[in-house]
Amino acid sequence: MTDEEKSKAHRWFAADCYNRTWTYMDNPGRTPDETQAMIESCLASMHHWRFREDQNDEKRSIGFWQASRVYALAGNAQESLRYGELCLRHAANAEPFYRAYAHEALARAYGVQNDGDSRRRHVELGRAEAAMVTSEEDREVVLNDLTGLGD
């Protein structure tokens, strides 16, 4: 396999696994097998992103956000927190939209852990970041995802 073929394969698998993960995430009636497949698909996507020429911290933060959300959906607070922290670290120098979503991930993770104070703190930090998002549409998407997490 040539380097160009490898690059195309990583590009395809990164996107395919990311989108497949969303299919599992959007299924509220996931079976335990599907939950495991959701986790594996998400991690596979992140693995292939590592080898893409267009990877950067901002894009890595998206993968870490998805992993945090996946583990929250699976009820695994420890892994959700770990990936939420990685998301926040990789979003540190990104646009406010990405930082807001890092805090959204951490709020969800702390919700799974039943740590209401930390959950509310990250919701507020997420809202503060969202306030700096210049696109009204993007700002509303983030705020909608934060809704209900801080109550």
Secondary structure (DSSP) of 29-79: T--HHHHHHHHHHHHHHHHHHTT-TT--HHHHHHHHHHHHHHHHHTT-HHH
Whole-number percent of the chain with pLDDT over 90: 89
The answer to whether 124 touches 110, Cβ cutoff 8 Å, is no
Please state the rounded mean pLDDT for residues 20-44.
97
60, two tokens: 């890595």
Distance of CA 141 to the CA centre of its chain: 14
- Per-residue pLDDT at 151 exceeds 70: no
| pTM of the entire predicted model | 0.93
Confidence of residue 53 (pLDDT cuts 50, 70, 90): confident
Phi and psi angles of residue 105, each rounded to the nearest 5 degrees, phi first: -60, -45
Mean pLDDT of the chain: 95
